[in-house]
Amino acid sequence: MFESHEFIKYIDTASVYATEYSFKIVGAILIFFVGKWLAHKLTVITKKLMERSKLDKTLVEFSQSIIYFVLILAVIVAVLNTLGVATTSFIAVFGAIGLAVGLALQGSLANVGSAVLIMFFRPFKIGDTIEAGGAMGTVEDINLFSTTISPLDNRSIIIPNSKITGGNITNFSSKQERRLELIIGIGYDDDLKYAKSVLLDLLAQDEHILNEPAPFVGVAELGQSSVDLAVRAWVKTEDYGDTRFALLEKIKLSFDEEKISIPYPQMALHVRSKV
């Protein structure tokens, strides 16, 4: 009878704990999913408000990531509170774990620090065409740890932020105008002045070439097999690539029509016979 009484007592205790903790677990699950949903909604609303304020897109995307991270962290703390975990001790433990993880993940923390530098100094923004971290393309996204760049062939290259801030950054979109420069070689037997006039005419006829600063054609170098002409003109930044490709084609076709040669490196071989 005594054992039966003790068994019933344990069963009652277990049922009490099961009932109590089942409610806590169910409550914690509800708080997590509802909190996650609210965090997402609040982040979206905040993003729309910032966009309506006409804030820079890069700053909006970066702020969105931080806001969502902070809200999710608050949801996790609320879940732990519901489960009966002392959040004060949890925060202390979390801080110790954070320190250990921080020491182990110094590279990741460096990426976060680099993200802050990018946001503060603004060497580029989303939509700019840049060359950094060994890649060149259009900036698609900037987050706490990495920057996504899409090159012309529509790939996605994800570069750690520390790699970007640790090297040279070339921003091709920071200026409204760019100087286009080509080196065109002609033969030594060709009419130099006529070749220059043909090139200047091509520049004047191209609608994408700006009148100011004025286009320029001059002798850049007297090479081993050609007279190298420097062709310089200013274009809108967004027209640079298309104008360069089109101008090279026009120069080749015009030189063919005008019988102006574009020489390639040659080697003269003299054979001497021994008598």
Q: Where are the domains of the chain?
A: 2-104, 123-171, 177-257
Class of domain 2-104: mainly alpha
pLDDT band (50, 70, 90) for residue 1? very low
Name the residue among 116, 107, 105 with its Cα closest to residue 144: 116
The pLDDT score that the predictor gives to residue 27 is: 74
pLDDT digits (tens, 9 = 90+) for 47-68: 887 777 666 666 677 777 778 8
pLDDT band (50, 70, 90) for residue 94? low
Which class for 155: exposed (0-12), middle (13-18), buried (19 or more C-beta within 10 A)?
A: exposed
Q: Give the residue carrying structure tokens 């076709």.
A: 253
On the question of pLDDT at 220 being above 90, the answer is: yes
Strand partners, 232: 181, 216
pLDDT band (50, 70, 90) for residue 45? confident
Which class for 94: exposed (0-12), middle (13-18), buried (19 or more C-beta within 10 A)?
A: middle
Structural contact between residues 203 and 233, judged by C-beta atoms closer than 8 angstroms = yes
123-171 is classed CATH 2.30.30.60: yes
The pLDDT score that the predictor gives to residue 273 is: 66
pLDDT digits (tens, 9 = 90+) for 244-274: 999 999 999 999 999 999 887 766 666 776 6
pLDDT band (50, 70, 90) for residue 87? low
Residue type, 178: R
Q: Determine the CATH number of domain 177-257.
A: 3.30.70.100
Can you tell me the mean pLDDT for 6-10?
Answer: 54
Least trusted range by pLDDT, from 35-39, 104-108, 131-135, 234-238: 104-108
